[in-house]
């Protein structure tokens, strides 16, 4: 007989990762309606805001329809058992400008993220949130790009700054289950804080990878209703709830309300739910940030190039999240190459 | 003509790269390289190059204050706030390479002449030196710029510990510089560190919201500005001339470094130092 399964913290990132799928146009009415449904389903945390987190509304990664403070307050007003969380990337968000405000707006958990090899840029933000007594986790994004040893070293830095959990994000949807087992397994074994996994579904493995993470020792898992998230979307929460129940993991989630929340999301965000397409598959294969999907399609259309070529070229250049401006440059270069014009860029 | 006697305070990547540029300058002479740790790589390099070094930091400058005309402060914003009054008391001109914003912000391609008489000038940030002249050019070509944003991507290996710990100050100072020079209330700065190997060269993008952009005038102003910057930052190159994409006015540059102390990918280090040297040399050439 296997021993009893440990309790799993399930984070609902629908109103944050889904922002990418909705070109950051989520309304306050949608925030309130969905947050209420998520609360009823019993998800531990409800993450809200721009897809790239606090302070990210910009021309670079897209402007939010609603100011983030209004979104946070609207969600906070709907939550009781479930707690409000935000994604924070230093380089976009600052302590004085965004974190201080978010503390005031009722955020219970700050998930401070960075590209997976750059943990030291999170030191001040993690320490600050701890110093004011709020919960904070470290998030390593694009974690398919680093070895398990590097991920352990970077996680240990975040742990030393005060992070109370570490989440590996498969931001590109590039992991296979054996990668998850190796990386999460090492972190779960060596770290003192709980470890989590955030899946993307580019290769159709979001649930399989989430399950592999839990079996390797993860205690935190992210998902979104109907997979409403960047690129091919995330691990669908309604499926996670079902699979976790089937596996016997206690989560505090109530199945029917979780299924209802997914149905509600399908109505609220009809027409924008993620889909597996040639573009999202190539994005996963190339290991490019899932949220590049829409801007790549826009730039490719304007400059008359194949979006799949743009993804492979971006992957070759090893771009990271936040480098959306390079999409235009790459598309421009491919267009010039196709028409055999000399590139604007001087040759090295 | 005798060379202007300068000192460098701070022996990290910025200070050491500055030293090499000063040693090459026909009008500047480094009389002191001051820091805290004689065993640091920068100190070792300076000693090998035969430069007088001091491990007494600010006190090292004070001790030789009478002979120093100009000091480059390559420490941290926090430290520069302490150093600035001391330099002022000693009558030493300060070129501040931290985001402390004590003195007037200086971008040589835009406002060099009006900064020459000031006792303390601030070189803003690396991303500021790359983006502000472009924002200024965009604002000159388009009277009603509503919003300006800049994104810089730099190689992880070019970002030292001070840069990493001061990301918030970097963003704030860069945004303030954009506001001031482009006369635009709403600005935003974003910084990405990219660990890819081989290291990525510094790239800076400026995006603007302009109701009816005059693309032809913008291209002309930007081309003119790039040419001016290349006089003191040889590796500054236009990668994407201004275009309108998804309602955004976008232009992009790449900055190759001179490869003085860090390799050529570290254009971020190079551009702020080239700007500081351009300022100091202009002052030296004008000084009686």
What is the arrangement of strands in the sheet containing B236-245, beginning at the earlier edge strand?
A: B186-194, B147-155, B202-209, B248-255, B236-245
Mean pLDDT of the region B93-108: 95
Domains: count for chain B: 2
Interface residue of B131, B146, B239 to substitute, partner A, most A CBs within 10 Å: B239
pLDDT mean values, one per 10 residues, chain A (348 residues) = 80 98 97 98 98 96 96 98 98 96 98 97 97 98 97 98 98 97 98 98 98 98 98 97 96 97 98 95 95 92 95 93 89 90 50
Residues A96 and A171 occupy one common structural domain? yes
Residues B281 and B197 occupy one common structural domain? no
Q: What's the CA gap between B256 and A346, in Å, rounded?
A: 11
Distance, in angstroms, between A4 CA and closest chain B CA?
41
Smallest Cα–Cα separation from A129: which of A156, A93, A75, A155?
Answer: A93
Q: Look at B149 and A326 and tell me if their CB atoms are within 8 Å.
A: no
CA angle A285, B254, B97 (to 5 degrees): 120
Report the pLDDT value the prediction gives residue A321, as an integer from 0 to 100.
Answer: 86
Partner-chain residue, chosen from B156, B190, B209, that has the shortest CB–CB distance to A60: B190
Q: Which residue of B has its CA nearest to A324?
A: B151
Distance, in angstroms, between B282 CA and closest chain A CA?
29
Report the pLDDT value the prediction gives residue B246, as an integer from 0 to 100.
Answer: 85
Q: Is residue A348 part of a domain?
A: no
3-class secondary structure, B119: coil
Domains: count for chain A: 2
Residues of chain B contacting A326 with CB distance shorter than 8 Å: 153, 203
Report the pLDDT value the prediction gives residue A4, as an integer from 0 to 100.
Answer: 78
Report the pLDDT value the prediction gives residue A346, as an integer from 0 to 100.
Answer: 44
Q: Look at B207 and A298 and tell me if their CB atoms are within 8 Å.
A: no
Q: Is residue A128 part of a domain?
A: yes
Exposed, middle or buried, A189 (CB in 10 Å: 0-12/13-18/19+)? Answer: exposed
Q: What phi, psi does A285 have (nearest 5°)?
A: -65, -40
**Residue B202 touches partner A, C-beta closer than 8 Å:** no
Q: Look at B245 and A120 and tell me if their CB atoms are within 8 Å.
A: no
Report the pLDDT value the prediction gives residue A341, as an integer from 0 to 100.
Answer: 65
Q: What's the CA gap between A134 and A223, in Å, rounded?
A: 23
Q: What residues 319-348 of chain A have any CB closer than 8 A to a CB of chain B?
A: 319-323, 325-326, 328-329, 332, 344-346
Exposed, middle or buried, A348 (CB in 10 Å: 0-12/13-18/19+)? Answer: exposed
Residues A181 and A59 occupy one common structural domain? yes
- The domain of B175 spans 126-266
Q: Look at A58 and B190 and tell me if their CB atoms are within 8 Å.
A: yes
Structural tokens at position B88:
């002022």
Mean pLDDT of the region B162-172: 90
Q: What's the CA gap between A54 and A97, in Å, rounded?
A: 10
Q: How far is CA B99 from CA A304, B132, B186, in A?
A: 42, 15, 20
ipTM of the complex in this document: 0.90
Q: What residues 233-272 of chain B have any CB closer than 8 A to a CB of chain A?
A: 237-241, 243, 245-246, 248, 250, 252, 254
Q: What's the CA gap between B27 and B2, in Å, rounded?
A: 7
Q: Look at B240 and A92 and tell me if their CB atoms are within 8 Å.
A: no
Residues of chain A contacting B240 with CB distance shorter than 8 Å: 328-329, 332, 344
Structural tokens at position A283:
């994005």
Partner-chain residue, chosen from B161, B205, B237, that has the shortest CB–CB distance to A325: B205
Residues A283 and A264 occupy one common structural domain? no
Predicted structure pTM score:
0.93
Report the pLDDT value the prediction gives residue A343, as an integer from 0 to 100.
Answer: 53
Which residue reads 């947050």 in tokens? A35
Mean pLDDT of the region B163-187: 94
B198 preceded by cis ω (within 30°)?
A: yes
Q: What's the CA gap between B54 and A23, in Å, rounded?
A: 55
Residues B165 and B240 occupy one common structural domain? yes
Residues B244 and B136 occupy one common structural domain? yes
Residues of chain B contacting A113 with CB distance shorter than 8 Å: none
Q: Look at A344 and B239 and tell me if their CB atoms are within 8 Å.
A: yes
Report the pLDDT value the prediction gives residue B77, as an integer from 0 to 100.
Answer: 87
Choose the final residue of a domain: A268, A302, A317.
A268
Any catalytic annotation for residue B126?
A: yes
Residues A243 and A293 occupy one common structural domain? no
Residues B70-87 have pLDDT tens digits of 999 999 888 999 999 999
CA angle A175, A181, A182 (to 5 degrees): 90
Q: Is residue A2 part of a domain?
A: no
Please state whether beta strands B147-155 and B202-209 pair in parallel, antiparallel, or not at all (unpaired). antiparallel
Residues B8-66 have pLDDT tens digits of 999 999 999 999 999 999 999 999 999 999 999 999 999 999 999 999 999 999 999 99
Q: Look at A325 and B203 and tell me if their CB atoms are within 8 Å.
A: yes
Residues of chain A contacting B156 with CB distance shorter than 8 Å: 117-118
Task: Count Cβ atoms below 10 Å from residue A149 Cβ, excluding itself.
Answer: 10
Mean pLDDT computed over every residue of chain B: 95
Question: Which CATH number characterizes residue A301's domain?
Answer: 1.10.8.60
Choose the final residue of a domain: A268, A300, A320.
A268
> How far does Cα A91 stand from its chain's mean position?
17
Report the pLDDT value the prediction gives residue A1, as an integer from 0 to 100.
Answer: 41
Q: What's the CA gap between A197 and A331, in Å, rounded?
A: 32
- The domain of A178 spans 9-268
Half-sphere CA count of B166, side-chain side, radius 13 A: 22
**Residue B187 touches partner A, C-beta closer than 8 Å:** no
Partner-chain residue, chosen from A121, A319, A322, that has the shortest CB–CB distance to B164: A121
Interface residue of A147, A161, A325 to substitute, partner B, most B CBs within 10 Å: A325
Q: Is residue A224 part of a domain?
A: yes
Q: Per-residue DSSP letters for A40-55?
A: HHT-SEEEES-TT-TT
Distance, in angstroms, between B248 CA and closest chain A CA?
7
Q: What's the CA gap between B55 and B10, in Å, rounded?
A: 10
Choose the final residue of a domain: A235, A268, A301.
A268
Q: Which residue of A has its CA nearest to B207?
A: A59
Phi-psi region of A291 (alpha: psi -120 to 50; beta: other; left: phi over 0): alpha
Residues of chain B contacting A58 with CB distance shorter than 8 Å: 149, 188, 190
Residues B169 and B245 occupy one common structural domain? yes
Q: Look at A94 and B194 and tell me if their CB atoms are within 8 Å.
A: no
Please state whether beta strands B120-122 and B147-155 pair in parallel, antiparallel, or not at all (unpaired). unpaired
Q: Per-residue DSSP letters for B15-39?
A: HHHHHHHHHH-SSEEEEEEE-S-TT
Q: What's the CA gap between A240 and A327, in Å, rounded?
A: 33
**Nearest-10 Cα torsion for B46, B47, B52, B53:** 80
């Amino acid at each position: 007989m296997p021993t009893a399964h440990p309790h799993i913290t399930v984070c609902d990132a629908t109103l944050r990762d889904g922002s990418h799928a909705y070109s950051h146009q989520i309304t306050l009415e949608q925030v309130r309606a969905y947050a209420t449904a998520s609360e009823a389903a019993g998800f531990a945390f409800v993450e809200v805001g721009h897809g790239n987190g606090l302070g990210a509304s910009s021309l670079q990664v897209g402007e939010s329809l609603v100011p983030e403070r209004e979104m946070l307050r609207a969600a906070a007003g709907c939550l009781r058992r479930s707690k409000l969380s935000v994604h924070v990337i230093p380089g976009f968000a600052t302590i004085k400008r965004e974190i201080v405000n978010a503390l005031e707006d009722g955020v219970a958990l700050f998930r401070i993220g960075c590209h997976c090899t750059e943990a030291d840029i999170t030191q001040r933000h993690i320490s600050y949130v701890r110093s004011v007594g709020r919960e904070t986790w470290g998030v390593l994004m694009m974690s398919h790009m680093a070895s398990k040893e590097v991920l352990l070293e970077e996680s240990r830095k975040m742990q030393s700054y005060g992070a109370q959990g570490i989440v590996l994000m498969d931001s590109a949807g590039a992991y296979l289950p054996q990668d998850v087992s190796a990386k999460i397994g090492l972190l779960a074994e060596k770290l003192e804080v709980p470890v989590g996994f955030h899946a993307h579904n580019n290769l159709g493995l979001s649930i399989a990878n989430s399950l592999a993470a839990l079996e390797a020792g993860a205690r935190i898992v992210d998902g979104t209703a109907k997979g409403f998230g960047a690129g091919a979307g995330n691990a669908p929460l309604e499926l996670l709830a079902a699979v976790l129940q089937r596996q016997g993991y206690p989560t505090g989630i109530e199945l029917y309300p979780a299924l209802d929340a997914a149905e509600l999301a399908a109505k609220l965000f009809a027409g924008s739910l993620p889909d597996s397409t040639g573009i999202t598959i190539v994005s996963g294969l190339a290991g490019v940030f899932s949220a590049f999907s829409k801007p790549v399609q826009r730039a490719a259309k304007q400059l008359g190039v194949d979006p799949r070529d743009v993804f492979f070229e971006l992957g070759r250049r090893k771009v990271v999240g936040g480098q959306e401006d390079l999409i235009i440059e790459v598309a421009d270069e491919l267009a010039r190459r196709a028409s055999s014009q000399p590139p604007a860029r001087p040759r090295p | 003509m005798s060379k202007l006697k300068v000192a460098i305070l701070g022996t990290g990547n910025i200070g050491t790269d500055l030293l090499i540029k000063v040693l090459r300058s026909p009008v500047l002479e480094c009389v002191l390289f001051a820091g805290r740790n004689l065993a640091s790589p920068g100190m070792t390099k300076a000693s090998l190059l035969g430069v007088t070094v001091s491990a007494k930091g600010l006190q090292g400058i004070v001790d030789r204050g009478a002979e120093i005309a100009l000091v480059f402060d390559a420490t941290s914003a926090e430290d520069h706030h302490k150093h600035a009054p001391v330099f002022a008391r000693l009558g030493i001109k300060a070129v501040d390479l931290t985001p402390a914003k004590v003195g007037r912000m200086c971008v040589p391609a835009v406002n060099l002449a009006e900064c020459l008489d000031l006792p303390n000038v601030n070189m803003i940030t690396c991303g500021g030196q790359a983006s502000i002249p472009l924002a200024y050019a965009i604002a000159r070509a388009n009277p009603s710029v509503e919003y300006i944003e800049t994104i810089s991507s730099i190689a992880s290996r070019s970002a030292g510990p001070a840069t990493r710990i001061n990301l918030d100050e970097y963003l704030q100072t860069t945004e303030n510089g954009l506001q001031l020079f482009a006369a635009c209330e709403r600005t935003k700065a974003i910084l990405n560190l990219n660990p890819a190997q081989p290291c990525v060269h510094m790239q800076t993008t400026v995006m603007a919201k302009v109701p009816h952009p005059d693309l032809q005038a913008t291209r002309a102003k930007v081309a003119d500005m790039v040419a001016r910057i290349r006089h003191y930052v040889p590796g500054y190159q236009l990668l994407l001339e201004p275009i309108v994409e998804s309602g955004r006015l976008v232009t992009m540059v790449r900055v190759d470094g001179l490869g003085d102390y860090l390799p050529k990918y570290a254009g971020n280090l190079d551009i702020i130092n080239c700007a500081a040297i351009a300022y100091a040399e202009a002052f030296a050439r004008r000084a009686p």
